[in-house]
Amino acid sequence: MPKGEPFKIKMVEPIRLIPREDRERALKEAHYNPFFLRSSDVYIDLLTDSGTGAMSQFQWSAMMLGDESYAGASSYYRLKETVTDITGYEYVIPTHQGRGAEKVAFSQLITRPGMYVLSNMFFDTTRGHVQLAGGRPVDLLIDVPTEEYHPFKGNMDTERLEQFIREHGAENIACIVMTVTNNSAGGQPVSMANIRETYQIARKYGVLVLFDVARYAENCHFIRMREEGYADKHPIDIAREMFSYGDGLMMSAKKDALVNIGGLLAFRDEELFTKVGAAVVPFEGFLTYGGLAGRDLEAMAVGLREALDPDYLAYRVGQVQYLGEMLRNAGIPIQWPVGGHAVFIDAAKFLPHVPWDQFPGHALTLALYLEGGVRAVEVGSLMIGRDPETGENVRGPFEFTRLAIPRRVYTNLHLEDVAETVINAFQKREEIRGVKFAREPKVLRHFTAWFDPA
């Protein structure tokens, strides 16, 4: 097997590491929040793998075919046929990005305040939209320590799921959200067996199952590599089986549809489509464009297929693994095995002297920027936020610093620079301090909060 990337590079964008004094100044000006840094002050940008990938020549050329008709554009039908082919779902609605799909879905499915929405684990915007619609998000992730091997660490705890439905009543549950891969748990995969079992439980009690499939292609790759009976299957066939265990999907197309902007809703039956579709026109736009241009729909249709290519997936997941192995071999505590899109550093172990409510994952993020111009993001108690009822900070199950790898963007030499940065910070870890809020917004606070060193 060749070791190289399954592409060569046709267009380049210069990047550089600015001097240390400039990084200190930039961080202060950003109120110690990496979201406020200018990208030109960042050397290697691992803030997110969302919308930051490189499109292929096939996607760029498909964009020239964009049909910009307001309704019924041919670009929409090309996208719809692709989505139906992969998922089996007949009813497809584009949205401007994942959270557009979430807002539409939860505003219609949460019909009474206080209804529960159950998940293997919500991502932040999904959790935010459940709360904004008056619902109560509940995470039911299996419990495995971060450094302990488990092939499918993103799984739903199906025992607790069934118990919860029994205790609280199916009529009080708006839906189940199956997040694949499980981003908040470290980009960890969910097994086909777990997806099937979740759907069986849901059907037994008449509860709806929606997938959150931002990174479903990476999840299919893990099923192929790790679950018995899937080694010889093409990822698209694994995807088809997976989608058969659900009623619909919400997607941020900025990940596994390999586009810079876009999202999707898709449903198996017309009733659900009609119910949820009612909110699309006022929030997103007409049903066949959902806030996107015709050219965006074309790029998405091509990207959805490219992301299921086995060579691409092996390269993609392999690159994340390469970074993970460099860090693990150096003794850095990380979520193990690494997930599909990012390496998650266990910041609680990296910075044992920083208390959880001074956000060790965020403190380490700031340190990595100062050390090597690498931009990461906190995934932990800062991102989880406060309990809307008590106003108290909720302690998350993990305190992570996430290094998310954009798709087809950086080379392995860049990742070696990243590893060196993390290792250097590890050697000086005692000097790294926690943070406190200087300004704290109510919803999705991590995006726009200001901080001071604690």
Say how far apart CA 368 and CA 388 lie, in whole Å: 31
Q: How far apart are CA 357 and CA 380, in angstroms?
A: 10
Dig out the tokens for 322 from the structure. Answer: 């390469």
Q: In which element (H, E) is residue 211 found?
A: strand 209-212
In the bound complex, which residue of the shown chain has the CB atom lying closest to ligand P71? Answer: 98
In the block, residue with structure tokens 């610093």: 401
Q: Name the phi and psi angles at 181, rounded to 5.
A: -60, 170
Q: How many CB atoms within 10 Å of residue 396?
A: 21
Query: Does the active-site annotation cover 124?
Result: yes
The structure tokens listed for 381 are 């108690």
- Alpha-carbon distance of 125 to 35, in angstroms, equals 16
Residue 37, token pair as written in the block: 């840094």
Instruction: Please indicate whether residue 212 is annotated as part of the active site.
Output: yes
Nearer to ligand P71 by Cβ, of 258 and 377: the residue is: 377
Catalytic site residue from 212, 247, 296, 346:
212
Q: At what angle do helices 360-372 and 412-427 cross, to 10 degrees?
A: 110
Instruction: Clarify whether 214 is annotated catalytic.
Output: yes
CB of 214 to ligand P71, least distance (A): 4
For residue 346, the SS3 value is strand
Catalytic residue list contains 193? no
Q: Do residues 366 and 350 make contact, with C-beta atoms less than 8 angstroms apart?
A: no
59/181 with CB nearer ligand P71: 181
Contacts of 278 (CB under 8 A, 6+ apart): 108
CB 375 within 8 Å of CB 37: yes
CB of 82 to ligand P71, least distance (A): 18
Taking the complex as a whole, the smallest distance from the CB of residue 253 to ligand P71 amounts, in Å, to 7
Smallest distance, ligand P71 to C-beta of residue 96, A: 8
Q: Catalytic: which of 123, 245, 398, 451?
A: 123
Exactly one of 26, 62, 73, 214 is catalytic; name it.
214
Structure-block tokens of residue 106: 């939860």
Catalytic residue among 22, 58, 70, 71: 70
Shortest Å distance, C-beta 98 to ligand P71:
2
Between 260 and 393, name the residue whose CB sits nearer to ligand P71: 260
**Could you confirm whether 417 is annotated as catalytic?**
no
Q: Indicate if 123 belongs to the active site.
A: yes
Give Cα 206 distance to the centre of its chain: 28
CB of residue 256 to ligand P71, shortest distance in Å: 10
Give min distance, CB of 404 to ligand P71, in A.
6
CA distance 366 to 23: 10
**Alpha-carbon gap, residue 95 to 265, rounded angstroms:** 7
Cβ within 8 Å of residue 369, ≥6 positions away: 23, 27, 34, 37, 42, 375, 376
**CA distances in angstroms from 84 to 77, 385, 426, listed in the order given:** 10, 36, 47
Identity of the amino acid at 263: G
From 89, 414, 446, 451, the catalytic residue: 446
Whole-number Cα distances in Å, 272 to 92, 278, 346, 440: 11, 10, 40, 37
Interaction site with ligand P71 (CB under 6 A): 47-48, 50, 97-99, 123, 125-126, 179, 183, 212, 214, 252, 254, 263, 377, 404
Q: Packing angle between helix 235-244 and helix 192-205, nearest 10 degrees?
A: 20
Catalytic residues: 70, 123-124, 212, 214, 255, 446
